[in-house]
Chains A and B, each alone.
Chain A
Amino acid sequence: MNLFERNLKLLKSVDPSLASRVESSISADSIEVQQAKDGSPIPKIGGVCLHSAYHPRDEAEKLVAPFEPVAGKNTVVYGLGFAFHLQVLLQKDVGKISVIEPSMALFQAFMTHIEIEPLLANVRFVVGQSPEKVLTLCGPASQWNVFEHKPSVRINGTYFDALTRVISAQSFLGETALRILVVNPIYGGSLPTAHYCAEALDHLGHHVASVHCEDFADGFHAIKNITSDKANRQVLDSLFINLLGQAILAKTVEFQPDLILVLAQAPVNSQTIQSLKKMDIPLAFWFVEDFRTLTYWKDVAPLYDHFFTIQRGEFFEELEKINTPDYYYLPQACHPQVHRPLSEADNEADRDLEPYRADLSFMGAAYFNRQQSFPQLVDYDFKIWGTEWNLNTDIGKRVQNENKRLSSEEIVKIYNSGTINLNLHSSTCHSELNPKGDFVNPRTFEISACGGFQLVDHRSELAEMLDIGDEIATFHSIAELKEKIDHYLQHPEQRKRMAERARTRVLAEHTIAHRMSEMLIHIVSRRLEQMTARTANRRDPVDRVIEQAGTKGELGTFLQHFRGTPDFSLKTVMDSIEKGQGDLSKNEILFLMLDQVMTQKN
């Protein structure tokens, strides 16, 4: 076993996700490694050595000497090189260190030449991550003691400049509540995601409004019953989408958002996008779809200012080809406010969950691969919930909900109750698994957030998000799935341990709130000046009325409580009085009188 292999094995034990990425990455950049005078290996990139060609250790001592970390903050190092500065820093007793290294190639070279064992206990490697992701992984930059390895920073100037920008964006977002309009789809899988996004953005302290296109679902579906003539139906559909486009514009004009977030499948056509763009409001789209299955992105992606995807690699190449101005990888996630463990200690809850109990359970629509492969599982206590199943088949008899749509609450009960939750990503063309499946579906995170145990088909992006074998169990074929079902049915303690670990990880890294935070940091880092100008000119309407009322008067003092309330108006005060308890104060009585006067006036 060579040094690289030994290091990789060690890395797997502490950071299996990174180890997996190291293994799967093919180094495109060639990192030249040469020997310094003292015999130490040093990396050379673009003709520049990252450490002294004479005595890299002595150099590191000198570089680190002036570094005086502030107590209570985390040490973050910009640039790995071959870690000579890390070794010195560790001697200074600076606590745990996070090292931000943009280049996977360099990390691979480092693994090939340097023993990592002495570092592993106190160093976390953050390698090849986007600056936005770095902030999600390393926490708020205001809590960092930064040590810059200058040669690394110089070599990766673009990356570290971007990191500086996202740090500014994070700081801006920490102080500023944006007005964000979320445009929901009429129906479909991205609709709950739209709701979760709005809740998460609200939770992050922004002022959120939604265009509830789902309220129009019955009308939209009714078009199907009007005519069987496809051409006429398309005309009607298109008119309906235009109407909703106008509704979105009307809401935008009223709400005056700083940012519009459109969810996949929302009824926003290019005409609506063009009208929205005239309002000079940044437009973001989260395409939570498989780009190979749904291809409408080709028409709309270049029109959006920011296009977020759950796939990268080949998809990014395609987006580049059609001149998409900005695209960014933002995988799916869970929403712990909804996806949560239900207490079994509570007898009533326990009874409530009874109908959902099964050795093996599955929640999802009847995609081709599921219809094809699930008959192999009929020898288990196997229950299915979902839509579009053929109820007249053997597998259809396992369907518990007669194809009716399920609420999020019911889905949470299913995830909580299955001994094993089966999670097979959908495919319209494979009979079992998609061997090249990349993105991870929301169900993966949602089951984990519920504390459920799952068996999920192998996905190339999964290892980066959850540690396979430790936090989550996967299968590559239905045969392997059956083996694992048999195994895990026999080992409840393993199921419990793995589910607990998965839950800890998804709550720490894979919630919609994390994604929304990352999304906003990405957007704002690219338009910080514009956003600053937009929000700097905005006055809290409460300030305006306080100024008019006089800051020192009783009314002014009373209104102070409402500072920062979204969309403040007289109604805000009246709602607050309405909710209040006990005797009315002098101001409250006056407001009740005022409300009567204003109601009569209107």
Chain B
Amino acid sequence: MKNILVLTLTRLGDLIQGTPLISGLRAKYPDAKITQMVSTDFAEFAERIPHVDETIVLNLRQFKGKEEDRQRTLWVDVFQYLEQFMDEVKSRKFDLVVNLSHSKLSAFMNLYLNPKRTIGFACNKEGDRMSLHPWMQYFGIEPFNRAYNPFNLVEIFARCGDMDPAGETVRIETRPDDSASIAGLLAEQGIRSDDFLIGVQAGSSLEGRRWPAHYFAELIDSLTAELGAKIILFGVAGESELAGKIKDSVKNKMQVVDLTGKTNITQLTAMLPKCQYLVTNDTGTMHIAAALGVKIVGLFFAHAHPYETGPYAPGHLIFQSRIACAPCSYGVACNNIICIHSVQPKHVFGMMAEHQQTGKWQWPASWGTAPDMNLVKTEWDHKKRLRLIPLLKHPLQLVDLFKEAYYHFWPMVLEGKRLSDPKATGAEIVRFMNEHYDCGEWEKIQPALERKKQELEQLIEHAIKGIKAGFTVLKNLTGNRNKGNTLQKLTEEIESIDEKIKNIGFAHPEIKPVAELFSKRKENFLGDDPVVLTKATIQCYQRLEAESRELLRVLENVEQHQTLQNDEPNLENKAVLAGR
């Protein structure tokens, strides 16, 4: 592999979250030239992505605001630009295209470039979107099963490139002259080297994701008054009005510096590390800060989901609402964003003050419970995979159990493997559950879990029927006699089986990821040779059967271990008994 192109056209966050994958590519192909394609908005920042040799910019901004006039039709100009641009890119003859943009545009671009190999979204020659890599297929179903996804996009991207993300964090390049770029700014704003600086990124691209301005103001008041902090308001020019509103509301205005719209990428990169913390909504600035090692206090509302886009490094703190509708489902435009009120300024300040004092993210027991709030910290697990560790011991729900099970399940089954030691896995899940959740009401969860296991058995049964039907089709296709009617009937039978599989997924969201991945695989068949297609269909059923059995095994082990755990007296009691 000598010539690699990475397409990142959608979000700044994606650009940063793709850095471990690029690091992996560099390690795997040390001599390859790595080029990245970005849109104009991210062109300046893209220069900071490590291991990239060249950046090419898709400049669609040049057409912004150009209304059609009588003389010219805008789309003809755009077409000609695209043609010229894509032909130039194509002439570079990339061996590998890595497409991290979850967009049709990038999939069509990939088709146009026709590389030898693709990682990520692509489409077939007829224009239907394809995702051939198992992790890319998982990425395709993830938005519809968000509550059950335990993986950060960083991990998904890396695994799409067959990289192990263990120990990797997001990174951006810093430069020796970065500091010099802010010397004037620091002086101008009266920021001293011994100031205790806390950054605040109050804006975000989607307004609905923002924590309210008056909450930020209240938090700033506490931080300045009680911790003596100086606050730096970060953001783009468009967020200056919001920053103004916050600054107007705070008591000690002298302690607040508004830098919205006043920093370029170099200055932002230099300024962020001066801060001890960054309090932020789910934004590009958050990812930059994470890459620079700044402690993040993340506020995730509406669609923002820390399991997907949380800061990918250990040591950060994230607040999220734990109400039934959080996070918003894919495609929802919420008209009553109540989740932002689950997290109060006192919570954020309390956690930051505690951390400032102890160096640990912890929720003191004396604060009581916060049932509407998820509070998690980022941490490596023993395999150096990044975990979100709950800091509030909420009563365990089925969704928490399944998310934890999927954390162990998908990395194995998506590589076509079985869990090496399901008993150990079950024990690990149970340990995690009991350490971070209140499992006191296990007996209420168990019947529901039982039901889900039965549904998994149903999935297995349908998969076996599918395999049988598939082999009968194959026999008919390869036999000599014309069996048109039989084939028709078998096709109908397969359609009916698939419908049942799909319906089990709809009725049981906990196992929908398994059912949906089956459907996703079937969407990605290539060619029109009936024998090849039938073989692929059989394989899909076989994988569904294997995956359902594997998940069932995990759940059975979880159930056994949890039941044992409940039967055994706890350690304190043991000690008491031993003492007797």
Contacts and interface: CB of A to CB of B under 8 A. Distances in A.
Interface of A: 544-545, 548-549, 554-555, 570, 577, 581-584, 586, 588-594, 596-598, 600-601
A570 B127 contact: no
Contacts of B367: none
A548 B72 contact: yes
A387 B103 CA distance: 55
Contact of A594 (B72, B75, B125): B75
Nearest to B111: A589
Interface in B72-101: 72-80, 82-83, 86
A593 B76 contact: no
B105 interface: yes
A586 B82 CA distance: 12
20 contacts: A544-B73, A549-B80, A554-B83, A570-B75, A584-B126, A586-B112, A589-B111, A589-B112, A591-B79, A592-B104, A592-B127, A593-B86, A596-B103, A596-B104, A597-B60, A597-B78, A597-B105, A598-B74, A598-B75, A601-B60
Given A548-B72, A589-B112, A591-B79, A584 B127 contact: yes
Contact of B82 (A544, A584, A593): A593
A570 B60 CA distance: 18
A586 B86 CA distance: 11
Interface in B511-564: none
A133 to B, nearest CB: 43
A547 to B, nearest CB: 10
Nearest to A601: B63
A589 B79 CA distance: 11
Nearest to A544: B73
B144 interface: no
B80 A596 contact: no
A129 to B, nearest CB: 47
Given A584-B111, A597-B60, A555 B80 contact: yes
A592 to B, nearest CB: 5
Contacts of A598: 74-75, 78
Given A584-B125, A597-B60, A549 B109 contact: no
Q: Is the interface of B mostly helix, strand, loop or mixed?
A: helix
Contacts of A549: 76, 79-80
Nearest to A578: B127
B109 A593 contact: yes
A506 B112 CA distance: 55
B75 to A, nearest CB: 5
Contacts of B76: 545, 548-549, 555
B108 interface: yes
Contacts of B86: 590, 593
A545 B73 contact: yes
Contacts of A554: 83
Of listed B79, B105, B127, residue having the most chain A CB within 10 A: B79
Interface in B118-143: 125-127
Given A548-B72, A549-B76, A570-B75, A593 B126 contact: no
Contacts of A548: 72-73, 76-77
Interface of B: 60, 63-64, 72-80, 82-83, 86, 103-105, 108-109, 111-112, 125-127
Contacts of B127: 577, 584, 588-589, 592
A597 B85 CA distance: 14
B72 A593 contact: no
Nearest to B64: A601
A435 B233 CA distance: 93
A588 B64 CA distance: 24
Q: Is the interface of A mostly helix, strand, loop or mixed?
A: helix
Contacts of B79: 549, 555, 590-591, 594
A600 B78 CA distance: 13
B115 to A, nearest CB: 14
A320 to B, nearest CB: 46
Contacts of A592: 104, 108, 127
B526 to A, nearest CB: 12
Of listed A582, A586, A597, residue having the most chain B CB within 10 A: A597
**Closest A-B pairs by Cβ, 5 of them:** A596-B105, A583-B125, A593-B108, A592-B108, A548-B76
A583 B114 CA distance: 13
Of listed A544, A581, A594, residue having the most chain B CB within 10 A: A594
Contacts of B72: 548
Nearest to A573: B75
A577 to B, nearest CB: 8
A2 B212 CA distance: 107
Contact of A593 (B64, B73, B77, B112): B112
A555 B82 CA distance: 12
A581 B109 CA distance: 20
B153 to A, nearest CB: 21
Contacts of A570: 75
Contacts of B80: 549, 555
B73 to A, nearest CB: 5
Contacts of A544: 73
A597 B82 contact: yes
A590 B104 contact: no
Contacts of B74: 598
B83 A555 contact: yes
B78 to A, nearest CB: 6
A590 B112 contact: yes
A598 B75 CA distance: 7
B7 to A, nearest CB: 12
A555 B78 CA distance: 12
Given A584-B111, A596-B108, 7 more contacts: A548-B77, A549-B80, A570-B75, A583-B126, A589-B111, A589-B127, A590-B83
Of listed A549, A570, A584, A593, residue having the most chain B CB within 10 A: A593
A589 B124 CA distance: 11
Nearest to A593: B108
Nearest to B60: A597
A467 to B, nearest CB: 52
Nearest to B63: A601
A67 to B, nearest CB: 53
A162 B112 CA distance: 60
B75 A582 contact: no
Contacts of A590: 79, 82-83, 86, 112
B126 A582 contact: yes
Contacts of A577: 127
Nearest to A596: B105
A376 to B, nearest CB: 55
A20 to B, nearest CB: 58
Nearest to A592: B108
B193 to A, nearest CB: 44
Nearest to A550: B80
A589 B73 CA distance: 20
A600 B58 CA distance: 14
B75 A589 contact: no
Of listed B63, B75, B78, B104, residue having the most chain A CB within 10 A: B75
A600 B80 CA distance: 18
A601 B145 CA distance: 29
Nearest to B109: A593
Nearest to A583: B125
Contacts of A584: 111, 125-127
A594 B78 contact: yes
A593 B127 CA distance: 11
Contacts of B63: 601
Nearest to B104: A596
Contacts of B75: 570, 594, 598
Given A544-B73, A548-B72, A548-B76, A594 B126 contact: no
A30 B109 CA distance: 83
Contacts of B126: 581-584
A540 to B, nearest CB: 13
A600 B61 CA distance: 12
Contacts of B73: 544-545, 548
Nearest to A549: B76
A544 B104 CA distance: 29
A420 B79 CA distance: 63
